[in-house]
Structures are given as structure tokens and as C-alpha cells.
Structure 1
């Protein structure tokens, strides 16, 4: 496999490279990037053959969008695919905190959730200004899930269905965007969203991995039936499938529980017996499902970015997948790389 391998998504007419550039790190996620460093990361990805770039207003209060837009300025738009997200409106506010969760040294804006029709139109206009563009290839309704909103999620989800999605449909009709859908962290929410809308393309983070294959029950068959493409993020489950079951390993943005460490250890042992890094198997397994258009991976530095490419290009013997299946570590109905 190569990062520049591509898949054509018939419903949207978009062609995605196998690896996508995840824009959260250049929004100063868990550490500070310089503008020059962010541009260099984008340039490195381009040289590696990556042509799909994903970002969001929520990645550093617009900082990721701003940096990505400037780094890609002057590129032929027909050669690349850009996605961003809606659901947050940023308001410049004097004295606003320059820290937001794990994002540091960010612009002094207040980010407010807004899934209304007008709020989405305003958010898209703001994103266009930050990214120096007059159109997007894909727009995702971001974080209308329980992880983000807790007990208030049903209200935000309804607002997304009656406000945000019709706004995106209007933009699609105007050819401002080619593909519209949802970007969430939960299989059930994604399934409900696709059932209720005419989504083209969605982004699911951390739910279809070597450790988790529940989307094979309902979500992935439904996507296949409807022609909905799926970008996958979080294929390392926020850490443990990259590091292995080491001390301090992370799973779903928290310390990995014992049962996860045990399963990750069993998978890692089989990978090791074939001389394959666990992270290589994690990347390639996720891309094997035909519904998946791209694997979006973030990197904090040049070394990580180069490593992701190396892992994706690693030769994985077919017997590794057979052994994982025989051990009951991946589902029988999970596609594996040819």
C-alpha cells in the first residue's frame, strides 16, 4: 500500500488518497507549532503523495484552518480534497482564554456550539475566510454526539437534523460543497444520522479499528447500501494501537482499561510473530473495508509523519490476518487487506 493509492467515491465524485492529513496537531493540539512548522508538515505530506486534508474550526479555535489554508494556497484545487466541519461559531473576544482543552496558544476567540441553519452558514463563511477558498470538497457536522454534549446530546442532534443538515444541503445545491455528512465519535449516533438524512460522506473517529468492529453490525452495511463513503480517524484508538499495551497507554482519550490492554497485547503478540509493527496492522486493517475512502492520521512532528507513511507501506503477510481471526481477535466478517 502507498499513501497516494486512491479510491473514487462515486456519490460525491471525489477521489481520496489512502492516507489523509489530520489537521488537529497544527491547531496546537497538545503542543505548539510555529506557522512555519505547520506549513512544513503540510509540504512534507504533499511530497509523500497525500492529497486529502481535513481540518475543523474546533482545532485550535480556527488556527488549524488558517494554517492549512495558507499552506495550500497556490496549489491546484483540482489536485486535492479539503474537508472541514460545522457546528461551532467563533467570536473574537477580548480577554478570551488562549487555552481550550488540549489546544494551547490559540486565537482569543470564544467557540460556541451552533447547529442552526444560520449558524452553519456563518461558520462556513468564517472557514472560507480562514482557508482562503470559495468552496469545500466536504463538510461534516461536527461532534453532535454524547461524548461532546452528554445529557444535552438529543437536543443538539435534533438541531443538527433540522438546521445544520438543511444548510449543508443548500450549499451542496449551490455547488459550494460536493459532499456533506457528519463527523462524530460514536457508531450509534452516526447510524442514526445517516438513517435520518441524505448524507454523502461521513467521518467516524475511533470506532472501526483492530480493537473495535461494532460498525460491521449496522453502520457499514448501511453505508455500502446507500453509497455513503466513510473517512476513518482515530484508527489507533487514541494511542494504544500505536504504542502497544505499555504503561500509560491511552484508549479513547483516557488511560486504557485492563481488558483493552489485554486484547491489544494479544494482537501485538501476533503482529510481532510476523515481524509487523502493531501500528502498521492497525492502519492497514482500517483501510481494508471498501466503504472507507481514506484514513485520516495526525502527526505532531516530521518523524511521526514519516513513520505513518512507513507503517502504511509495510508488507503485511496474509497469515497475520488469518491468525488474528483464528484467535478471535478480529471478526470473521471484517475485510482484511488482499
Structure 2
């Protein structure tokens, strides 16, 4: 895959980014467990992809006691550290026991991540799901945004991003001028276009754009019979009906719906990289195959006609 710039950060990333929350083993969320060996060989598969994927996304809060970061760190240590050309992003999270998301907690979260990953610097660090506190709390003196800016000023972090869901809140954080990258999830898919204007505007401003969860939490990959929830929450039946109609359209065109769902994000001119969670080496290979599947232009037009009404999106337009 052709490496491209991540906004104005100076980082160069592949259109595919591997999300690692499944590697943390969270069966309550995903419905299956992932042991440490499977997790580390999955990281190996990414690192051995021959440059097809050079971007890995993780978080302090993925799994018990940061298990995703620990497993990534184990794979990196076997190689003597982070290989050249690999971009590794992580996120700061609240204290899992107390919920504290203060500036002091941000620094502790970052230090925990450094230890788990076995690195002394992070290329890209996100403020993760800031909807867990108010915007005023996040931007207050001594708060998490100021703490992140301090980490960058000290040279411990290359670039800062904000990663979360609600589109209006993501806009507020970008307007602070602190963040160089925005990541939103489940809001720019075949079934939901909530983040369209956010992503387009960010791209025009030179802000890096990451689109996560192009399968809507699995519905567009597994099908609505197996994954009845969209974005891990119960939705209007119209969403599942649309997914079924889209799958039928893709079948008539001779392509898997998952390929169209992934390429819907990959073909966007204002998305720099698409974050796809993987849980095995086989899934890494399958994702690359889906990205390379040929899709007829007529299918895109049919899929567009099947998009659910905007009032059913996660963040309906005002």
C-alpha cells in the first residue's frame, strides 16, 4: 500500500492501521478471548507485512492492566525495539479504578504505556474518549489537554491526537489548536455518515484523519444475524435491514460486503488511514485481501442508495 502523510504531522502511514483492542482479550465486548501467544504473533504478522501496514494503534485502557500494550511490547522486545518505519500510536486513559482523568493522571497513563511498550518516546499520543469528562474539565488549567501539551513540549511525544466518538465534541477539541490528528469510530461507514463533515473539514485544515471501525462493530463484516448491534449498541431495526440489503447488493456484484465496507473508508480522499481491529495473523492477511478486492463502480452507487436516514446515525446532523 502507498504510504501517505498523516495530515501535517510529518508522519507517513499506510492507508490501513491495525487496531489492537481485540488483542487485549475482552470477551465481554467481542465475544471471544485472545491469549498472549495469539496476540504477539498477530503483531508479528503486521510487522512482517512487507510495508503493507506500518501503523499500529493501541491504548493504555485496552484490557486489564493494559494487556494490549503489554502484548505489543513483548513482540517489540523480541525484535530489539520498534522497527524503523513503523508508526506506533497509543492513548491516555482515566484511572481504571477511580475514573480520575486529571492532568496528573494523563502523565501517569503515559508513563505506564512507555513501560509496557518498552519505548522511551511515542510518535502519536491521543486523548482517549474525552466524553468521559466535560470539555471544561479537559481544557482547564492543569487538566489533561495541558498535560498532553507539556509532554509534547518536553519532547516525549511527537504529535497529539484526540480519539473519541461524538462529532461535536471532537470539533471542540480540534478548535483548541492543540491536536494535529482526529480519530473517530463507527461514524463514517456504509451505514452511518455522522463524521463526514468533521473529517472533511479536518483534512482541509491539515489535520490528520483516522477513521476507526469501518465495519460498525462487526455488523458489516459478520452480518446482522451474528452481530445484531451497531457500534456495540442496540440500534433501530432499519440499520440491520439496510445492512442486509447492502449484503445482497454486494453478493450480486460478486464481492464480500466486508470488502466494500473497508474500501468505503480507504477510497475517501479525506481519510489518511483506516483503523481495523484484528485478533489473529489470519485476520491481518484477510484484511489486506479485502482491501485489494476489485469493486465495480455500479455497486458504490447502489450502496449509496441504501444508506439509512440521517436521523438514525449515531450523531444525526442538527
TM-score, normalized by the shorter chain, greater than 0.5: yes
Structure 2 partner of 1:125: 111
Q: Distance in 2 between matches of 1:57 and 1:76?
A: 18
2:201 pairs with one of 222, 235, 250: 222
Matched, 1:284 2:281: no
Matched, 1:298 2:295: no
**More off after superposition, 72-81 vs 281-290:** 72-81
Q: Which runs of 5+ in 2 are unaligned?
A: 310-318
Post-superposition shift, 1:171? Answer: 1.8
Higher relative contact order (CA 8 A, sep 6+): 2
Q: Distance in 2 between matches of 1:313 and 1:169?
A: 39
Structure 2 partner of 1:6: 3
Report Cα offsets for 1:22-70 as digits up to 9, x if no partner. Answer: 1111211214333222111111122223211111111112111111112
Which has a greater percent of strand? 1
Matched, 1:36 2:15: no
Structure 2 partner of 1:334: none
Post-superposition shift, 1:77? Answer: 4.2
Post-superposition shift, 1:144? Answer: 1.6
Report Cα offsets for 1:242-269 as digits up to 9, x if no partner. Answer: 1223255221213453110111122222
Report Cα offsets for 1:121-148 as digits up to 9, x if no partner. Answer: 1211111111111111111111122xxx
- Asked if structure 1 preserves the Cα contact closer than 8 Å seen for 2:39 and 2:279, the reply is no
- Asked if structure 2 preserves the Cα contact closer than 8 Å seen for 1:87 and 1:164, the reply is no
Report Cα offsets for 1:186-211 as digits up to 9, x if no partner. Answer: 22221222123331012211111111
The alignment's TM-score, normalised by the length of structure 2, stands at 0.86
Structure 1 partner of 2:127: 141
Post-superposition shift, 1:10? Answer: 4.5
What does 1:77-88 align with in structure 2 at a 5 Å threshold?
77-88=83-94
**More off after superposition, 171-180 vs 246-255:** 246-255
Instruction: Count residues with an aligned counterpart.
Output: 298
1:174 pairs with one of 154, 157, 169: 154
1:165 pairs with one of 145, 150, 153: 145
Q: Distance in 2 between matches of 1:87 and 1:199?
A: 16
- Asked if structure 2 preserves the Cα contact closer than 8 Å seen for 1:19 and 1:295, the reply is yes
Structure 1 partner of 2:188: 208
SS at match of 1:88: coil
Post-superposition shift, 1:317? Answer: 1.6
